[in-house]
Structure 1
Amino acid sequence: MSRISRYTHGALALCIAAGLSAPAFAQDEGGAKAPGKVRDGIDLTLDFVGNVASNPVGGVEQGTEGSYWVMAQSKFDLDKLFGVHNTDVDLQWAWFAGRNLAREKIGSSISAQQTWRPVAGGRLTRMTIRHRFDNGLSITAGRAPVNSYFNNSPLNCVFMSNAMCLTPYGAITDLGITAYPNSSWAAIVRYDVNDRWYAQTGAFDYNNDLNKAGKNGLDFSFGDGTGTIVPFEVGYQTNAKNDPLPRAYRVGVYHNSDGGKSPYWDINGNPAGLTGKAFANQDGSRVGWYAMADQTVWKEGPRSLALFARYYVNTGNDAPIDYFASAGFVKTGTFAGRDRDTLAMFVSNTHFSDSQQAYLRDRRIRNGGTGTPDNNEIIAELSYGWAVHRGIRLMPNLQYIVHPDPIYAPTRTTDIPDALVVGLRVDVHFAQLLGW
């Protein structure tokens, strides 16, 4: 068995909806969710997550949009099923639908709804086989997204904003890392030094065409990618069994051998914002570093208070985002008799690069405007997670966006007003609800 208790990947922070303590900080391939009940070596999971968001104040215009996903997962313990020691197979599928408030009404690129994806419909999100050696080494191979294994935490998805959930903002935009639900051929090697320290690395095929409509995660071709993403992460983590105040600290780096697109120059070497032509390809590589910390500062039974911080910085090719930083807290157990409810808040700053803002300035000039958007887009969210029933959680939340970027408001000639977003997230974890 693995030396570290793990969550299986799923619909966001359903570890909380299932009644698990959020600051357990168990590392897993992709996030935080309580597994369904294992029967005869088969673990079946079915989750629904819905987001509704409205901006009564600010943005390009006011309105309401909704989005949702459904995720089904089957995990097979080959030891119990066929006697293949310490080996499991993980299959995961998801369906996405809905519209994005940030894109449609506010005009900005950072979605207030973590369930929205640019390509709707069904998708195979994971197909992996993992073998765990008795010395702490494990190898995983198959189809998987980078952010299901690197730079994640159960606390990230105690929120609805895509600035935090599933992966802190920045790396997907700058590095092009494959992110749930997009997957590609991958191999991951992890070594658990003991029940606290670990190191892991991997190689993921980079092929942007896999994310297009109609692919559905079923394009298994080899050799068609334009690069390879290699992440590396070292971490220290504890849980409630080996630490009275569980914690997790991780540092890591991504490297993409595909140099990406210039955020400013077009294919002819002219400013793309003025010409409207496609961005130029860049030589070299894309590199970004990240660090994250989760620290429980108070715990009494199932009730706890955890603080967290996130940081990402671009150090490779010119990219849209220079750095992203966020900090916040998660309080598990709020009022008397509400030990499974949560109160959480974060504040983040996405600092766009000068090249990105120069492109937006030029585009504004081309449409008859003047001035440059602010480099810093600040987002705050306050959410309350109400555990209505085992397996069902409602999360009303307030988000406030300062200096919304105008990336999806191409004809905008002035700054977009700061926006207030009123949201509601609904999580249904059927394995817990139905007692599977």
Structure 2
Amino acid sequence: MAHAPVGEVFVSVLRKHASQLALTAIALAIAPALAAQTSDDASASVATHNDGTSPPKPGALNGISPVLDFVGNGAANPVGGVHSGYKKSGWIKFGATFDFDTLFGWKGMSMDVYAAWFGGGNLARSDIGNSISAQQTWRPVAGGRLTQFDINKKFDNGFSFTVGRIALNTYFNRSPLDCDFMSNAMCLTPYGPISDIGITAYPNSSWGAVTRYDFQHFWYVQSGAFDYDNVENLAHRNGLDFDLGHNSIGVLQATEIGNEVPDGLQTMPHAYRFGIYHNTNGGTSPYFDDEGTSAALAHRPLEALPGGRTAWYGMVDQTVWRGEDGRRLQLLARGFANTGNPQVVKQFGAVGASLTGTFPGRDRDTLNMFISDTRFESQEIDYLADLRHLAGGVGAPHRNEYISELDYGIAAFRGVRIMPDLQYIVNPDPIYATKRKTDIPNALVVGLRVDIHVAQMLGW
């Protein structure tokens, strides 16, 4: 079957979802009016890659900034879970940022091209039985994938935009501190948006556009729209299907306002962000089939829901102490609330701390900890209870799952970090242990993460 021209598909998608994209247009329209001018202290975004790592410095090699990274996780649960086990996972990331100003004299323009290869197993799914992975490198789809392909433009008046194949979580509800941890409760993005809203997150990307305006005093507003295309996330797709709209089942939208104070000023550095997600695709019911009865007991598919999915989030990173040689103590808080169609997660909250500079002579070592509370939707708990009853059990799983993590990041060499890790999971959800008749025992996870950044090792 012949496909419609890309231009026609793009126009039809915009027409179909015009109301949902209105927030994007409004944010752009009001930005210049909210600030007559942008002062010299306007903060440029301290962006991170969609895997949480810092981007290369622009112009590292005559305008080309190459990246070759390896991140590996190993995790075991000697205590608790469905049974004890050990799993390892990892990725290799490669690509480059091209500074068009240095290369061609095109001021404020750059291009990102990144790909990755993934492999390994998931301790949470196979041995503990819960849905929140203890390994931030594990992905459901193994193999190679194009993860990012975009064009960026920054103007002198504080306005900037990005367009291309991008992931939503690269730009929204993200912090460099999130991936100082190994649990998926924090990294790639605080838990909830992926399962509830279906946001694109590393390595999955789709066609999208993000616009941002930086005001005076480090305030900013940004908004973005992204194609919602689950087919592209399947195995063997590899992120190389550039068709626009052919498999689209909705539009993802996010809008965020925040304040980012960088280091080097008298004011303590901080980042405060507040935003909203929306997906025009309504998702599926956590409990009911299309007859309005229990899908689990009726052995029928879950009902497709009308309308859309909406959720709100907020995050705080606050430096509370600064010492010499980059030593610092940062506190963090995260929050997520689903206010749209019922999905898996109802609410998520987390608090934590990150200490850089631990002992004499260890200025770059880090000590990190967090504790989180994931509150599941009541319909999700009812669905899991029905599955337990079918297996011959009684009662229902706990609605709240608590995860804590403590890790120590050793700056072993330039570009190499080794991170022993401990996690403790209270009330593990049984989403991947649906035939259990009783609650899953609380689990202790012992892990090790290794990060190798070749560009940093070589001084690029």
TM range (shorter): over 0.9
**Deviation of residue 271 (structure 1)?**
0.8
- Residue 179 of structure 2 is matched in structure 1 by 157
The aligned counterpart of 2:141 is 119
Structure-2 residue corresponding to 1:292: 315
CA contact (8 A) 1:8 1:34 kept: no
SS at structure 2 position matched to 1:280: coil
Q: Deviations 1:46-99 (Å, cap 9, x if unpaired)?
A: 111000000000000001000001111211111111122211111111111000
Corresponding residue of 2:448: 424
Give me the whole-angstrom Cα distance separating, in 2, the residues matched to 1:243 and 1:69.
39
- d(CA) in 1 for partners of 2:358 and 2:49? 26
2 CA distance for matches of 1:38 and 1:10?
Answer: 20
- Which TM-score applies when normalising by structure 2? 0.89
Where in structure 2 are the equivalents of 1:36-435 lying within 5 Å? 38-194=60-216, 196-223=218-245, 224-301=247-324, 302-435=326-459
1:208 Cα shift? Answer: 1.1
Give the distance between the partners of 1:191 and 1:5, measured in 2 at CA: 10
User: Could you tell me whether the CA contact under 8 Å between 2:63 and 2:99 is conserved in 1?
Assistant: yes
- Distance in 2 (alpha carbons) for counterparts of 1:372 and 1:37: 56
SS in structure 2 of the partner of residue 154 of structure 1: coil
Alpha carbons 2:50, 2:203 under 8 Å: kept: no
Describe the SS at the equivalent of 1:262.
Answer: coil
Structure whose CA Rg is larger: 2
Give the SS at the match of 1:270.
Answer: coil
CA distance in 1, matches of 2:126, 2:120: 11
Identity %: 54
Answer yes or no: is the 8 Å Cα contact 2:351–2:370 preserved in 1. yes
Q: Is the 8 A contact 1:310 1:325 kept in 2?
A: yes
Over residues 128-178 of structure 1, what are the superposed CA-to-partner deviations in whole Å (9 max), with x where a residue is unaligned?
001111111011100001000100001111110010011000011000001
Query: Is the contact made by 1:36 and 1:432 (CA closer than 8 Å) also made in structure 2?
Result: no
1:346-366 C-alpha deviation (Å, 9 max, x unpaired): 000000010000000001111
Q: Which residue is 1:18 aligned to?
A: none
- How many residues are paired up? 418
CA distance in structure 2 between the aligned counterparts of 1:249 and 1:276, rounded to whole angstroms: 45
* 1:12 Cα deviation from its structure 2 partner: 3.2
Shift of 1:245: 1.6
For residues 8 and 42 of structure 1, do their structure 2 counterparts lie closer, same or farther at Cα, with a shift above 3 Å needed?
farther
State the one-letter code of the partner of 1:247: H
- Aligned counterparts of 1:41 and 1:405: Cα–Cα separation in 2: 48
CA distance in 1, matches of 2:224, 2:230: 18
Question: Which amino acid counterpart does residue 321 of structure 1 have in structure 2?
Answer: V
Q: Please tell me the residue identity of whatever aligns with 1:227.
A: G
Q: Which amino acid aligns with 1:220?
A: F
Partners of 1:151 and 1:243 in 2: CA distance: 26
Q: Decide whether aligned partners of structure 1 residues 177 and 253 sit closer, same or farther in structure 2, where only a CA change above 3 A counts.
A: same
Deviations 1:175-220 (A, max 9, x none): 0001110000001100011361111001000111111001111111
For 2:89 and 2:354, how far apart are their aligned partners in 1? Answer: 25
Which stretch of structure 1 is more off in the superposition, 405-414 or 3-12? Answer: 3-12
From the two aligned structures, give the one with the greater strand fraction. Answer: 1
Query: Is contact 1:36–1:45 with CA below 8 Å preserved after alignment?
Result: no
Alpha-carbon distance between aligned partners in 1 of 2:130 and 2:64, rounded to the nearest angstrom: 42
Report the CA distance between 1:6 and its aligned residue. Answer: 3.1
Q: Which amino acid aligns with 2:459?
A: G
Q: Which amino acid aligns with 2:133?
A: S
- 32, 42, 46: which one pairs with 1:6? 46
Which has the higher mean CA deviation after the structures are superposed, 61-70 or 194-203? Answer: 194-203
Paired residue type of 2:387 = R
Q: Give the counterpart letter for 2:293 in structure 1.
A: N
Q: 1:286 to 1:429 in 2, by over 3 A?
A: same
* Alignment RMSD: 1.5
Tell me: CA distance 1:201–1:299, structure 2 relative to 1, closer, same or farther (3 Å): same
How far the C-alpha of 1:277 sits from its partner, in A, is 2.3
Secondary structure, in 3 states, of the residue corresponding to 1:236? strand
CA distance in 1, matches of 2:100, 2:231: 33
